[in-house]
Chains A and B, each alone.
Chain A
Amino acid sequence: MNLTLKIWRQKNAKDKGQMVDYKIGGIEPDMSFLEMLDVLNNELVEKGDDPVAFDHDCREGICGMCSLFINGEAHGPDRGITTCQLHMRKFKDGDTIYIEPFRAKAFPVIKDLVVDRGSFDRIQHAGGFVSVNTSGNTQDANALPIRKDNADKAFDAATCIGCGACVATCKNSSAMLFVSAKVSQFALLPQGRVEATERVLNMVEAMDNEGFGNCTNTGACEVECPKGISLENIARMNREYFAASVK
């Protein structure tokens, strides 16, 4: 496959940055998208150019490190996958592919396609945990009965890998899907109910302070989420927030 790549190049956080065109050949359809970028970077290094910086770690769709806005969609044109799970067979010979970093004020570009998603960490620090002392006598898991559907929904919410595709794809750069997944994961379980009030208030406040936009229910996040996190979680967070606010 021969491709034309239009890639965002930006030296550092302060650089203005621009789209740069690259021609690349010899791409196999079974390569992953990141492997294609590896091939490009090998060529760039051989020529003595600066390789394209992009985030990646596990390359099996569970770490949430890879990002990339490919041809106008977070994690590319396929559904329910991260960029590392996107394969070149989704593209045709001769295609032009736009590769841009996730865009949001709260996700500043560090270099090229690498963005700082530390804002997600700070939201997590504000309440995305359960303060349980686990040293010593851990309770038997089966001693605490939990409804099956609640357990399933909590698990579904917990599959969020915090990649930020929801923010990147949202026209408002809203982080509602991410935050709602973290809120729901605990709101549905008895262990999480103890701190539910503080959690939702603190996490929403942290989210707003980071400069994310407001949700307008376009539903784009749910479509582009590699883990299929449902909009139901946002509705649950809205209920939780109201209940916490009037307490």
Chain B
Amino acid sequence: MAKSALLKSSIGKKYWMALTGLFLCLFLVGHLAGNLQLIFGTDLQFNQYAYFMTSNPAVKILSYVTYFSILFHAVDGIMLTIQNKKARPIGYVKNNAASNSTWQSRNMAVLGTLLLVFIATHMVNFWAKMHFSHMPLQQQEVNFQPMPGMDLKAQGINTTTGGMVYKIDQEGKEIYFDKVEGELDVRNNKEFYTKGTDIKFAEGYKDLYKITIEFFKDPTYGLVFTIFYVFSMVVLAFHLMHGFASAFQSLGANNPKYNGLINGLGKFFAIVVPLLFAIIPIYIHFIK
């Protein structure tokens, strides 16, 4: 009896493409919900969300599953494409493929490669900055610790406006108090310390909001970045247009009773999700 080959066989590879692909669809929904805060939320909300996404242990596990899915989906896809090319060493002189299949279904590898390029640039532009660089912090008033010579209950810091210490009055208004530039340490990406001491006087959030807005509003490259982003979302739309429903077929979910629903949902997902993603940089570049 033949051994099953859930990793190596042609059908096994389909399962993995489908499972990782569907997981990445779920990831897209979560990512989109977060991104929409750039339009509908405040800068603080967005930065708090970004901090949560990089610090929460459960989210961390999910993010590792996401990295794995992207890599596996890409590697498996490349292996499949190589095998499939080998399966027809001599091609047709004339092939009227448009008469029996959709353009996107025949070009998933090309679309996928473009998406991989987009993901790489996207991660360099935002993910790597969030994880590894020292970006400006946006302050949130928490955990005030004693600091010599100041009114302890009423101080704040807002590095986004130039490293000033503010006094907050009874109504929550900011009153200029003192300069702290060069006087503070930022540790663990969110804690403010008095320079050279262990006195923590505030916590803040990495200002990913500012990075994002400045990225798409960049006077020289902002328009190019926006166009590249929107183009990538069009690529994503075509990739999903075939991929979403295809994943169900690969997993064996093909029943005439539900096929209409799956195909309809696939097309809806393929249009709505990339469209909402694409609106955000357009909004930032042209309106904000």
* A→B interface (CB under 8 Å): 6, 8, 19, 69, 71-73, 77, 98, 100, 103-106, 126, 169, 171-174, 176, 197-198, 201-202, 204-205, 207-208, 211-220, 223-224, 231-232, 234-239, 241-242, 244-246
Contact = CB atoms under 8 A, between A and B. Distances in A.
B253 interface: yes
23 contacts: A69-B95, A72-B97, A73-B100, A105-B88, A106-B87, A198-B1, A208-B9, A213-B83, A213-B84, A213-B87, A216-B80, A217-B249, A218-B100, A218-B105, A219-B100, A219-B105, A220-B100, A235-B249, A235-B254, A236-B254, A238-B251, A241-B9, A244-B4
Interface stretch (B11-19, B39-47, B138-146): B11-19
A202 B1 CA distance: 7
A19 B108 CA distance: 30
Nearest to A100: B92
B100 A223 contact: yes
Main secondary structure of the interface of B (DSSP, over half): loop
Contacts of B11: 204, 237-238, 241-242
A187 to B, nearest CB: 12
Contacts of A214: 10, 13-14, 80, 83-84
A239 B95 CA distance: 32
Most B Cβ at <10 Å: residue of A212, A234, A241 = A241
Nearest to A6: B93
Interface residues of B, number: 45
A78 B207 CA distance: 61
Given A72-B95, A216-B108, A104 B9 contact: no
Contacts of A212: 10, 87
Nearest to B246: A217
Nearest to A235: B254
A98 B91 CA distance: 13
Interface in B6-54: 6, 9-15
Given A214-B80, A217-B105, A204 B10 contact: yes
A100 B14 contact: no
B84 A198 contact: no
Interface in B232-269: 242, 246, 249-256
A247 B80 CA distance: 26
B101 interface: yes
Contacts of A69: 92, 95
A100 B94 contact: yes
Most B Cβ at <10 Å: residue of A103, A214, A224, A234 = A214
A66 to B, nearest CB: 18
A220 B105 CA distance: 10
A3 B251 CA distance: 47
A244 B88 CA distance: 29
A49 to B, nearest CB: 21
Given A100-B92, A216-B105, A231-B249, A173 B5 contact: no
Nearest to A211: B87
B251 A217 contact: no
Contacts of B97: 72, 171, 220
A207 B96 contact: no
Contact of B87 (A72, A172, A239): A172
Instruction: Please name the 4 residue pairs, one residue from A and one from B, whose CB atoms are nearest each other, closest first.
Output: A72-B96, A235-B254, A245-B4, A213-B87
Given A204-B10, A208-B10, A215-B14, A234 B92 contact: no
Contacts of A6: 93-94
B96 A100 contact: no
A241 B87 CA distance: 22
A29 B10 CA distance: 43
B10 A174 contact: yes
Contacts of A73: 96, 99-100
B88 A213 contact: yes
A245 B83 CA distance: 22
A231 B256 CA distance: 11
Nearest to A16: B90
Contacts of A237: 11
A13 to B, nearest CB: 12
B86 interface: yes
Contacts of B2: 126, 198, 201-202, 204-205
Given A72-B96, A215-B250, 9 more contacts: A72-B94, A72-B97, A104-B87, A212-B10, A214-B13, A214-B80, A214-B84, A220-B97, A223-B100
B113 interface: no
